[in-house]
Amino acid sequence: GQNIDQPTEMTATEGAIVQINCTYQTSGFNGLFWYQQHAGEAPTFLSYNVLDGLEEKGRFSSFLSRSKGYSYLLLKELQMKDSASYLCAVMDSNYQLIWGAGTKLIIKP
């Protein structure tokens, strides 16, 4: 079957760094996505990895290891507005997104 695992909830301190992990088993692979979603709003695209390695975009970075079925999202210099759910999703061989359940990130002052 298809499966994506990520932690349910994480807590971090403003100004710190947090890493959200995602492991996956899917039928085929056409890229891994990270989305940010604030309560009641639509998901916002953060990153897309299709090759192994690290993609950096400002305070956010995403890493992929296809051989390990593993990705992480790294958030630096955390701000209160980063409190949100972070969704890991893998595009399978049919170009359909398989979603993780999301990680609720709580930022404390």
Partner 1 sequence: DTEVTQTPKHLVMGMTNKKSLKCEQHMGHRAMYWYKQKAKKPPELMFVYSYEKLSINESVPSRFSPECPNSSLLNLHLHALQPEDSALYLCASRKGGRGNGELFFGEGSRLTVL
Subset of 50-69 contacting partner 1 (CB under 8 A): 50
* 33 contributes a contact to partner 1 by CB under 8 A: yes
* 10 contributes a contact to partner 1 by CB under 8 A: no
Minimal distance in Å, beta carbon 51 to partner 1?
11
* 91 contributes a contact to partner 1 by CB under 8 A: yes
* 106 contributes a contact to partner 1 by CB under 8 A: no
DSSP the chain: --EEE--SEEEEETTS-EEEEEEEE-SS-S-EEEEEE-TTS--EEEEEE-SSEEEEETTEEEEEETTTTEEEEEE-S--GGG-EEEEEEEE-TTS-EEEP--EEEEEE-
Residues that bind partner 1 (CB under 8 A): 30-31, 33, 35, 40-45, 48, 50, 85, 87, 89, 91, 95-97, 99-102
